[in-house]
Amino acid sequence: MRAWIDFYDSAHSIYVNARHRDVHFRRLASDLAAFVRPGAVVLDYGCGEALHADIVAAKAQRLILVEPAPGVRARLAARWSNAPGIEVRGADQIARLADHSVDLIIMHSVAQYLTGPELDAVLALFRRLVKPDGMLVLGDVIDPRTSAASDAVALLRFGARDGFFFAAVVGLARTVLSPYSRLRSSIGLTRYDATAMIEKLAGAGFTARRAGENIGHSRARMTFLALPAGSAAWN
């Protein structure tokens, strides 16, 4: 994962312009807020820039933004320094949280950058932290059958809908020669079909199901909702 952390801590061009960056994080925050119970403690692991974390925080008692990239984390800390209920931590710090102290854990668009053993370790930590009646939301999981072309089409549709289509076209062309493309080719992304991810979550002590649609803009990727095994059944 170290290479991906360094990439996201660099001046990358994943977001084709400021409009794309803004609507991406706004859409994601709005989707995630739907899972937040009033007064909940929420942990967002690998949150990235989290430009609209206040949308989630407005429904929560406490929002813990966890970001392993130090440069991104510093910007987060500055952005939300005066926001009540929002705190920023490094990935190595959350192991100090008390057992069963978090109502909702979110990990969106991170699993693809972790090896299988790395994901197992993170899921084991989540299982320790989540409350017996809490939930894990694991988003943007990539199926082995999902191609880079599917991601490109999803971005173009997103751009057409939200006002940055032509910038998306230029951005996709630029991405072909970017460090992101080289990393994706050399290191690759970790992929799971629905059955494999549900089994992996079960191995970590969760009962999981695939959500009806993915959070965020990509309909080709998957979101999984996971409850601690032995907790109340799905409604």
- In angstroms, the CA 210 to CA 77 distance is 33
Q: Render pLDDT for 38-51 as a digit per residue (tens, 0 to 9).
A: 999 999 999 999 99
Q: Render pLDDT for 69-96 as a digit per residue (tens, 0 to 9).
A: 999 999 999 999 999 899 999 999 999 9
- In angstroms, the CA 203 to CA 220 distance is 25
Of 110-114, 146-150, 182-186, which range is least confident?
182-186
Q: Render pLDDT for 169-179 as a digit per residue (tens, 0 to 9).
A: 666 667 665 65
pLDDT number for residue 234? 55
Rounded to a whole number, what is the distance in angstroms from the first to the last CA of the chain? 36
Structural element, H or E, at residue 100:
none
- The distance from CA 128 to its chain's CA centroid, rounded to whole angstroms, is 19
pLDDT number for residue 154? 74
The SS3 assignment for 42 reads strand
Give all domains of the chain, ordered by start, each with its CATH number.
2-228 (3.40.50.150)
Structural element, H or E, at residue 196:
helix 194-203
Count of residues in the chain = 235
pLDDT number for residue 31? 95
Going by pLDDT thresholds of 50, 70 and 90, the confidence category of residue 194 is: very high
* DSSP conformation class of 27: H
State if pTM tops 0.85.
Answer: yes
pLDDT number for residue 175? 67
